[in-house]
Amino acid sequence: MSLKTAIFILIAVLIVCSLAIYYTWQATQKIEIEKPSFPSWIEVVGAGDILNLEITPYEEPTSLYRKWRYLRDYLNEKLAEKAGLKVNLKIARDYRSAINDVGLGVADLAILPPVAYLEARRDYCVQPLATPLLKEGNRCLLVARKDRGINTIADIRGKSFAYADEKSLCGSLIPHKWMRENNIVYQTDLKTVKYFPHYNAVLEALTSGEFDVAGVKEATFKELTPPDLKIVTISEPLPDLLLVGTFDIEKGLIEQIVKALSEMDSETLKKLNPDYLGWQTVTDENYDSLRTMVQEIHGLNYFLPTPDFCAIKPKCKLAPKK
Amino acid sequence: MKKITVLILMIAFAIILATGLIIWQMVEKQAAKKKELEEYYFGAGKIPEEYNITVVIKPYQYGKKRVCKGVWREGMTALDATKECDKVANLGLKLRYDPEVHKGYLVDEMLGLRHTPENNRYWLYYVNNVFVTTKATALLEDPARVYQGKKSEPMPERFYLKPGDIVEWRFEEWGALKELKEEGKTK
């Protein structure tokens, strides 16, 4: 074989291989999943021993599913050993669905952000079980686009603000607190405001240039490290997400879940969040300072229970009336 | 010259091998991602978004709660949804028609539980956590709960559902309810 032919073969191979890689790359970018047909009615919670765990969609649902499946797998392993239970994982449609589902027993357990917990406690008497411990605590950030000249909280006057769900701590409550402290009236002093379903959508609105400034959870910001954004201010450590159980969840089961969480190995903790140190038990009283904050900022009274619900559930222990 | 030719051919062969490896990895990665998405959307225990009516049966200390989900259809009543739940979950639903006081159907028995003088409990129903009585005006006067010109009424066979509703049957003590009624706290 002559050198010429060999070079020709090499070039041909290069072209064919490049094309093959290119077309395979293109084909693999598109993932189509076929939706199976389903009956018009199904039984979700039956007589069998299944625990439904629901996660509030504070971040993009598929990424949340990827993270929290480790908790499902861990609980599956621990609870199957002791109680023969199987844990199912579901990401709720929105904050309100998560509250309703765990409140009404569609889900047995739920991961709720703290403000959503206050509402679920008031409306449905859900039980706080445990919260993850973070290295530096759960902090909220005020983040802004680098090119909008925002260096302090006062600079957000006249800018557009991207909120997360209205029951979000870092995406709504704390930004309102900062505005209040700086005499910024969000109804009049901001150019535009919009509520987004979760932190990922909020950060996307900022990076795309659609919005100027937003409040987000530090852990989410650290994980995504979006470009062209800077941190304007950082909050004090605040209550984080917590695992709650339905009003009527068995006491023995609570003990098993809390024990399993307190014994969680560092590898599983790292998979859930690299900054998690462990889980600690919580009581409703731990959230009284947050109740006061919500009352001051939004004028909502989470100290008072919903009378109908709690009157017919005498065992339901509520926060003291204020 | 021959050595260079062989070298070039070897490089070409290596490129083919590397391409095969890259393509194999891409396909594997896609398959893994597809599996993950399928698990996320339709894995064990997943509930398709199309299910927009929930029926919860709460016997409290008398047994385990049961939950059904279904697809809403126009004119669906709370009783229709409960009957559908009974079909898939075998609740042992028994109805009783009361022609005098309520002029409608009452749930007489579910999950083997019925009212006795000892337990003093009845199967009472709530929609979105609100006890459905004539006082539940926000529910009854909701324009989305009108079907063929007929407004919703408290009896389950005349209460029209709308997508997203949660119908809850609680096996409750009559006393607690009576107390609430006296205090005027029922919605």
**All domains in chain A, ordered by first residue:** 50-135+239-312 (3.40.190.10), 140-234 (3.40.190.10)
Q: How far apart are CA A21 and CA A8, in angstroms?
A: 20
CB spacing of B71 vs A14 below 8 angstroms:
no
With a CB-CB cutoff of 8 Å, which residues 37-66 of chain B face chain A? 37-38, 40-42, 44-51, 54, 56, 58, 60, 64-66
Q: How far apart are CA A126 and CA A316, in angstroms?
A: 9
- Report the pLDDT value the prediction gives residue B119, as an integer from 0 to 100: 79
List the one residue out of B110, B137, B142, B130 whose CA is nearest residue B180: B130
What parts of chain B have a pLDDT lower than 70? 1, 40-48, 174-187
How many other β-carbons are positioned within 10 Å of the β-carbon of residue B42?
A: 16
Hey, is the C-beta of A248 within 8 angstroms of any chain B C-beta?
A: yes
DSSP-based three-state secondary structure for A3: helix
Q: A14 to chain B: which residues are within 8 Å by CB?
A: 12, 15
CA angle, A291 as apex, A285 and A292 as ends, to 5°? 110
Nearest CA of chain B to the CA of A171: how many Å?
Answer: 25
For a pLDDT cut of 70, what percent of chain A falls above it?
91
The residue ranking higher by pLDDT, B87 or A88, is: B87
How many other β-carbons are positioned within 10 Å of the β-carbon of residue A304?
A: 14
Q: B45 to chain A: which residues are within 8 Å by CB?
A: 50, 52, 88-90
Return the DSSP state at A135: T
Nearest residue of chain B to residue A312 (CA atoms):
B176
Instruction: Please state whether beta strands A109-112 and A127-134 pair in parallel, antiparallel, or not at all (unpaired).
Output: unpaired
- Report the pLDDT value the prediction gives residue A5, as an integer from 0 to 100: 87
DSSP-based three-state secondary structure for A229: strand
Chain length of chain A: 322
Confirm if A61 and B46 have CB atoms less than 8 A apart. no
Nearest residue of chain B to residue A46 (CA atoms):
B66
* A180 has a pLDDT exceeding 90: yes
| B54, B71, B183: residue with CB nearest A40 | B71
Q: How confident is the model at residue A112 (pLDDT cuts 50, 70, 90)?
A: very high
Edge-first strand order for the sheet with A41-45 is: A41-45, B66-70, B53-58, B166-173, B121-127, B130-131
Hey, is the C-beta of A62 within 8 angstroms of any chain B C-beta?
A: yes
Nearest CA of chain A to the CA of B131: how many Å?
Answer: 9
| B29, B33, B129: residue with CB nearest A104 | B129
- Report the pLDDT value the prediction gives residue A178, as an integer from 0 to 100: 95
pTM summary value: 0.69
| B5, B22, B30: residue with CB nearest A3 | B5
Q: How far apart are CA A107 and CA B56, in angstroms?
A: 11
Q: B17 to chain A: which residues are within 8 Å by CB?
A: none
Q: What is the pLDDT of residues A287-320, one digit of tens each?
A: 999 999 999 998 888 876 654 555 445 445 444 4
Chain length of chain B: 187
Decide: residue A195, CB within 10 A, 0-12 exposed, 13-18 middle, 19+ buried: middle
List the one residue out of A232, A214, A110, A115 whose CA is nearest residue A173: A115
CB spacing of B85 vs A43 below 8 angstroms:
yes
Here the ipTM equals 0.70
Tokens standing for B179?
């107390």
With a CB-CB cutoff of 8 Å, which residues 34-53 of chain A face chain B? 35-36, 38-47, 50, 52
Q: What is the pLDDT of residues A246-290, one digit of tens each?
A: 887 878 888 889 999 999 999 999 999 988 999 999 998 899 999
CB spacing of A7 vs B48 below 8 angstroms:
no
Disruptive mutation site among B10, B166, B169, B177 for chain A (greatest number of A CBs within 10 Å): B166
Q: What is the pLDDT of residues A14-65, one digit of tens each?
A: 999 999 999 988 888 877 777 667 788 888 766 667 788 999 999 988 889 8
Instruction: Please state whether beta strands A140-145 and A161-163 pair in parallel, antiparallel, or not at all (unpaired).
Output: unpaired
Number of A–B residue contacts, CB under 8 Å: 159
Tokens standing for A194?
């919009």
Q: How far apart are CA B78 and CA B167, in angstroms?
A: 7
